[in-house]
Amino acid sequence: MTQAPKVIKIHGRARRAYDDGKEVHREDRIYVPSERAWFDILDTNDHFAYRQNWHTGSSLVCSCGSTAGIYLPDVYMRFTSINKGRMICCNSLMQTSHHADGSTG
Ligand SMILES: [Zn+2]
């Protein structure tokens, strides 16, 4: 088990995280090489999804410590009112309605 990233919040919103000593920032979109496409990220306050190990291969993760994946609107529309097609979302949030640390937003 790896340790969950340390998340830095600004005005109640997670902006940065320190994942294994590396700083990661909240972004609006992530490029997914296996799909050859950019995807928007589900906007939640407590955590954000990002790409880990940019250079060694892609793995989508959430700053709560969960992995993340690409979801259809049917799945994520209970967490947002904005339909942006397929979006990157926290796997824990999609499957259990909360992030890996128990937060729900
Ligand atoms: Zn999460």
47-58 pLDDT per residue, tens: 999 998 766 666
User: pTM for the complete prediction?
Assistant: 0.89
Low-confidence ranges of the chain (pLDDT < 70): 1-2, 54-58
Give the start-to-end residue ranges of the domains of the chain. Answer: 27-96
Residue 91 Cα to ligand 1 middle (Å) = 7
Residue 16 Cα to ligand 1 middle (Å) = 14
Residue 64 Cα to ligand 1 middle (Å) = 4
Handedness of CA 46, 32, 96, 42 (dihedral sign): positive
